[in-house]
Amino acid sequence: MNPEGRLSPALLLFSSGTFFMCYLAMVTLGVLTPTVSRELGLSAAESLWILNAYFLTLATFTAPAGRLGDMYGHRRLLLAGLALVAVGNAIAALAPGFAILVAGLAIAGIGGAALMPSTIAIVANAVPPEKVGQAFGKTVTLGLTSFMIGPLMTGALTTSFGWRQALAVNAALAGVFIVVGWRGVPPSVKKGGSFDAMGSLLVGSAAGLALVAILQLAAEDRFSLPILAMAAASAVLVAVYARYSERAANPVLDLRLLRNPVFRGSTVALMAAQFSINAYAVYIALYLQHVIGLSAMMAGVGMLAAYTLPPVLSMAAGSYTDRFGARPVATVGTVFLLLAGVLAILFADRAAYPWILPSLLAMGVASTLTLTSLVVASSAALPPEKRGQGGGLQVTLRWLAAALGVSVVGVLVHTVGLAEGHPHHLSVAGYVAGFALISAAAALSLALIRAKLPR
C-alpha cells in the first residue's frame, strides 16, 4: 500500500485499462449490431443475442471471478480475463456466421467477468481508505475514455473497413494491456482458501436461465412452456442458493455481506442505475441509426456528447465523494440519469439529433457521478480482506442488472415495434417505451439512495 495515496503509473495504466476493456463492449455493441445484422441477414431475435451474449456470460461468471481473485491474486486473474477478452473478440471477428459470433462474444464476456471485481480490489488495496475515492477517480477517468473513444472508433472502423476489423482492434487492445500488467504490475497477495464450486454452479445457472428466458421471450413473443420452465427453474435455484450460502464457509457470493447497510444500499442502487445506463448506451446507439438514420460512424460521433463528459468528471466525482460522502454525489448523478430518460421520451419522435442531444449530455453527467460515488461507497464499507469477494457480489449483481436492462428493454422495444407492424420490429413508439422503462429504473435508484445511504 502506498501511504501517499498514489497509484504507481504502471498500476494506474493497468487498472484503468481493465476498466476500459470492460466498458468498451457496452458502448460499442449498439454501434456494431445494425451492420452485423444486415450483413449476416439476422432476424430481430438473433440481433438481440448479439447485443446480449457478452452481458449474459459477464453476469454469470463474475461471482466466481471475484472469489478466484481473492484466492490466487487479482493481478493474475486480470491477466487471464484480458486474455479471454482478446481470444473472444478474435473469434467473433473471424466468425463465419451467427453461432460462432455469439460464442466469441460469450467468451469475451467470461473474460470481462474477471476484470471489474479484481480491478476494484487491486485499487482499493493499493491506497489508504481515505484516499480510495481519489484513486478510483484517476482510474475511472482513464477507463471511461472507452465511453468517448469506443463509439467513435467502432463507428469509424465499421464504416470504413467493416465490423470484423472493429472487433479485431478490441482484441489487440486487450493484448496491449496484458503486456502492461505482466511487465509493470507486481503480483497480488494470494490469500488461498477453497473455491465454492457448488455455489458457482447454482448462481451461474440461475443467472443464465433467467437471461435466456428473457431473450427467448423476445424470439417467440409469447410465454411458452419452455420459457416459463426456465424462469421457474431460475427462481428455484435462487432460493436454493440463498439457503446454501447461509451454511457454506466461503460461499462464492457471500450474501451475508448485504447485512452491511451501506454496502447493501449502494449495491441495490447501483443495480437500478446500471440497468438504466447499459440499456441507454445500447439503445440510444440503435435509435441514432434506425430512427434518425445516421451511419455507424456518425452514430459514434453523435454519442460523443454523452461520453466526452465521463473522463472529465470522474476525477472530481471521486474527490467530492471523499469530501462530502456518496449520498449527495449519487443523488445528483441519478437526478441527471432520470433527466436523460425523460428528455429522450419527450423528443424521440422529433427524429433529429439536436433534439436528442440534451438527453445525451445528461447521461454523460449521470453515468460518471452515479457509478463513481456508489462504487467507492460500497468498497469502503467492507474490510480489505473482503473487498474482492464484495466486489464480486456487487459486480455480479450490477452486471446481472445490466444484462437484464439490455434484454428487457430490448424485448419491450421489439414487442411494441412488432405490434405496430414495423420492419425489423423497431419503431419510435418502441424506443419511447424503452426510454420510459430506463427512466423508471433511474427513479428507483434515486429513491434507494435517498432512503438507504447515510447522510
Give per-residue pLDDT as tens, 67-81.
787 777 878 888 899
* DSSP output for 143-175: HTHHHHHHHHHHHHHHHHT-HHHHHHHHHHHHH
**Where does 221-352 have alpha helices with state H?**
225-247, 261-290, 296-302, 304-307, 309-324, 326-347
> Considering only CA atoms, which of 183, 189, 188 is closest in space to residue 13?
183
> Considering only CA atoms, which of 120, 144, 134 is closest in space to residue 316?
134
Cell digits of residue 344:
429522450
- The pTM is what? 0.76
Helices and strands (H and E) in the chain: how many: 17, 0
d(CA 344, CA 363): 10
Length of the chain: 455
Three-point CA angle 72, 114, 36, nearest 5°: 155
- For the cut 90, the answer to whether the pLDDT of residue 14 exceeds it is no
- For the cut 90, the answer to whether the pLDDT of residue 272 exceeds it is yes
Report the pLDDT averaged over residues 192-205. Answer: 81
Instruction: Please check whether residue 359 is in contact with residue 18, taking contact to mean a CB–CB distance below 8 angstroms.
Output: no
pLDDT at 84: 94
Report the pLDDT averaged over residues 403-419. Answer: 79
Average pLDDT across the chain, whole number: 82
Q: How confident is the model at residue 131 (pLDDT cuts 50, 70, 90)?
A: low
Cell digits of residue 48:
438481440
Q: One-letter amino acid identity for 357?
A: L
Q: What is the CATH number of domain 9-452?
A: 1.20.1250.20
The domain ranges of the chain are 9-452
Q: Which residues, 6 or more positions from 94, have their beta carbon under 8 angstroms from its beta carbon?
A: 100, 104, 164
Cell digits of residue 423:
420492419
Q: How many CB atoms lie within 10 A of CB 229?
A: 12
